[in-house]
Amino acid sequence: MPGIKEYNNIIKSLKNTEKMTRTMKMVSASKLRRAQEAQVKAKLYARRLTDLIGRLSLCLEETSHPLLKHREQVKKVLILVLTSDKGLCGSFNHSVSKRVVAWINEHKSRYERIDLSFCGKRGYTYLKNAARTQKHYERATEKPNYAKAVEISDELSQSFLLGEYDEVYIAYNVFTSALFQKPTIDKILPIESSIVQKEKNAAAAIYIFEPSAQDVLTTLIPKYVHFRFYFALLENAAGEHGARMTAMDSASRNTGELIDRYTLLRNRVRQNAITKELIEIISGVEALNRG
If one counts the domains in the chain, the total is 1
The answer to whether 216 and 209 have CB atoms below 8 angstroms apart is yes
The whole-number pLDDT of residue 60 equals 59
- Dist CA 92 CA 22 (whole Å): 19
The whole-number pLDDT of residue 281 equals 80
- Mean pLDDT in order along the chain per 10 residues (291 residues): 82 89 87 81 76 66 70 89 87 90 89 90 86 85 85 90 90 83 88 54 57 76 86 88 88 90 88 82 77 60
The whole-number pLDDT of residue 82 equals 92
Residue 78 within a domain: yes
Residue 266 within a domain: no
The whole-number pLDDT of residue 199 equals 41
The whole-number pLDDT of residue 203 equals 43
Residue 4 within a domain: no
Please confirm, yes or no, whether 119 is among the known catalytic residues: no
With 0-12 / 13-18 / 19 or more C-beta atoms within 10 angstroms meaning exposed / middle / buried, residue 194 is: exposed
The answer to whether 56 and 217 have CB atoms below 8 angstroms apart is yes
Residue 76 within a domain: yes
Residue 156 within a domain: yes
- Dist CA 88 CA 12 (whole Å): 22
Query: Does the global pTM surpass 0.85?
Result: no
Residue 5 within a domain: no
The answer to whether 68 and 221 have CB atoms below 8 angstroms apart is yes
The whole-number pLDDT of residue 198 equals 45
Catalytic residue among 11, 53, 82, 89: 89
Give the domain range for residue 95. 25-246
Q: pLDDT tens digit string along 59-78? A: 655 556 788 788 888 889 99
The whole-number pLDDT of residue 63 equals 54
Q: What's the CATH code of the domain at 212?
A: 3.40.1380.10
Residue 222 within a domain: yes
Residue 290 within a domain: no
* 54 Cβ contact partners less than 8 Å away, ≥ 6 residues apart: 195, 196, 197, 198
The whole-number pLDDT of residue 100 equals 92
